[in-house]
Chain A
Amino acid sequence: MAYSDKVIDHYENPRNVGNMDKDDSNVGTGMVGAPACGDVMRLQIKVNDEGVIEDAKFKTYGCGSAIASSSLLTEWVKGKSLEEAAQIKNSEIAEELELPPVKIHCSVLAEDAIKAAIDNYKGKKS
């Protein structure tokens, strides 16, 4: 399969790889996918008192497109409010990375991951 240059760039130089303390009350963690399906994404966000995402980290088990989708997502969500981050659509990720149809599910997974991370954070605050 031919990958776009953007996928290769994120795959070879993934941004914001790592983890945060999932028990920190300012950290939201979203883990989506399943090993059996060949994709697991874990996205973590650190939110400040103004409700703005200060930092984001990810780790992904999956194909190059899945790694690139999550790497791109961490770049996009930083500096966004929770409301703005929740608006990110999988189609925007797929378009930016020029994902072929068979890899669209990778961008869907990334959208699921940010929603799950936001839900996790909000759950801690409520």
Chain B
Amino acid sequence: MSCAIRGGERRFALALFLPALLLLVITTALPLIYLVWTSFLRIDLSMPWLGGFAGLDNYQKLGNDPRFWNSLGLTLIYTGTTVVLQVVLGLSLALLVMQVKRGQAMLRIAAILPIVLAPVVAGLFWRSLVLAPDFGILDFITRWLGLGSYNWLGEPRLALASVIAIHTWQWTPFAFLVLLASLAALPPDIYEAARLDRANAWQRFWHITLPMLRPAIVIVVILRMVTALSAFAAIFAATGGGPGSATEILNLYAYRLSFTELSVGYGAAVATVLLAVTLAVAFLLFSFRRKK
């Protein structure tokens, strides 16, 4: 291609790309800069006359705030357990379903239902239909099995387990569908060769399937981590972060600080920490992925 055509193409490409890019910069970069700036301010919507520059006060406060450390810990537990559960369950189910000859299409349709549901509705459905102490199905089952009745969302440890279960329920189908698609795309002749070599099922899984699935698993882990780190609506609907602060991950804490307790400046500091955690995780995952 000649230079003139190339130059024309570049200008054309910019003309097509710039509107979207400018809008993205305006709608994401500017608010984030404003968020970091806000985290250095004292903004108390219940006492607006007290506002002003606060320097690092908000961040110093974070260090001595047990509720913040609790929510940071919960974020790590919530993200870690939900991602591991989704990958392990999704992979096991995909391996099992590969053996099912008929009815895969029905399973795929069933798997799509949780994914398309709004997380807030998933949280409400679980709260009312499954976990409610007097008329929820889970309580009915545990009573029927003679295990007794539990206040699934009212007891701190059970509540944390419950919100982890809700998230896992909603997003395991995602891991399942992606891994099922990658399993189906693996070349069958390599298994043939392994079978001739008398490799047993476990050896075939460990030495053939797992290494070949690794790219897909890495993708699932990355995507699931990002979703878990921005989880909000399902927990908000099921427990609101409670009881007390038992399910208050960083998202919920930043929200409650800013919009329930109205100290927006301090809430912004918590959100800034969350942003840093997310960026750090993303950076780690990306560099890990590039190395492999």
The finding on whether chains A and B are genuine partners in a shared complex, rather than unrelated, reads: no
